[in-house]
Structure 1
Amino acid sequence: MEKVINEANETLLALENAFSKFDTSLVNKVPFEGSWTAGQLAEHLVLSNSGFLQVINGPVRETDKPADFMVAQIKKEFLNFDVKYDSPKEIYPENRAYNPSELLENLRQIRVGISEAAGNLDLTKTCSAYELPGYGFLTRLEAVYFVIYHTQRHVHQLKNIYSQLYKIDF
């Protein structure tokens, strides 16, 4: 379980580091048509990852499959950067100005929460609070990996936003 804790911490820290590189004046600037701003992307991850943290810490039941059964599929889908997904409305960020300091603090709190949950809970249990469309009820381990791969996908997008706004490679 040390591997998943380290991977989650490194991924969520990479998100914080990538987001913190943006000047405040550019956090809410649209880099290209059809894109979210860096602030919207960070807010999307705050909404998604905090929701997953609640699910991981929520009610569970015994698991009737390998705890990592869906991990490879989640990784394959989220790290395929050639496919564009639409965000569910519950975690779709509003089109507004975001406070970068507030977003960074929320991202930091989520990182700490995920690390604590992964280190202290039985990750083989199935989360019963939320059934993820297309995946079903995830084990805590699968939920942590969902956070990891979903975040890695968006770190990739955040770097693209940065390079568009600053006209340099990240």
Structure 2
Amino acid sequence: MDIFRLIQDIKTHLKLSFDEVDRWFGKDEKILNDLPANGGWTIQQILEHIYLTNFYLLILIEKGYKKGVRNYLELDLNSEIKNYSFDNERFEKVGEYGAFEWIRPEHMEPKGELNLSEIRSLVAQQYQQCLGYLDLMKNGEGLLCKTTMTVNELGKINVYEYIYFLSLHTQRHLTQMKNNESETIKN
């Protein structure tokens, strides 16, 4: 496995996802706050949910990073890199809106406590955090810690895969926001 290629691919995916999210903050007030007919979240609520989910995923990513660095002293990184293969198919459904039922924890539901500019600033900081972890784990250290991910039965995933999951989760909600916008424009 070319770990450097994997890291670059994740960085590229993050940039595309976060750049697209950032564009939503400049949308018209009506588009941002129109309730969809299905009773789902407004676009502003979705943006807050993305921030909240990233917040909690980044806690796990930080713990995984720290454990991976500790494991560096005990595990054979070269062997881990050699034996690792990224299974993209396992993750693809995560980025598809509506591909499977997703019951999120209550603490990841938007509460409306942050204004749009605060959410935008926090999401931009989260993007930088992701890039920072990838830079800190530039030699493959992210393979040295695995944590269970219950969403879509992914099972044990490494720190790089957690960061990719975060980006895919964002992508999932980009589709939802596009659907909301289309409905608002039609009405």
Same fold (TM over 0.5): yes
- Partners of 2:52 and 2:110 within 8 A in 1: no
Stretch of structure 1 that moved more, 99-108 or 52-61: 52-61
Matched, 1:57 2:62: yes
Offset at residue 139 of structure 1 (A): 0.3
Larger radius of gyration: 2
Paired residue type of 2:10: V
Which residue, out of 162, 166, 170, partners 1:147? 166
Q: After superposition, what is the alpha-carbon deviation per residue over 1:99-118, rounded to whole angstroms, capped at 9, x for unaligned?
A: 21111111111111111111
Residues 130-160 of structure 1 show CA distances to partners (whole Å, capped at 9, x for unaligned) of x321223320111111112111111111111
Alignment of 1:109-124 (within 5 A): 109-121=125-137, 122-124=141-143
Relative to the length of structure 1, the TM-score reads: 0.80
Q: Aligned pairs, how many?
A: 163
CA contact under 8 A between 2:54 and 2:166: conserved in structure 1? Answer: yes
Question: Following superposition, which runs of at least 4 residues in structure 1 exceed 3 angstroms of deviation?
Answer: 61-65, 79-82, 94-98
Q: Scaled by the length of structure 2, what TM-score is found?
A: 0.73
Q: Which runs of 5+ in 1 are unaligned?
A: none
Contact 2:32 2:44 in 1 (8 A): yes
Given the superposition, is the C-alpha separation of residues 68 and 91 from structure 1 closer, same or farther in structure 2, using an over 3 Å criterion? Answer: farther
Higher helix share: 2
- Report the equivalent of 2:118: 102
Opposite residue 84 of structure 2, the aligned amino acid is P
Identical counterparts, % of pairs? 20
Unaligned runs of 5+ in 2: 1-6
Q: 1:66-124: CA deviations, max 9, x gaps?
A: 2634x42111x224445353331245424547521111111111111111111222222
Query: Partners in 2 of 1:53 and 1:11 — Cα distance?
Result: 16
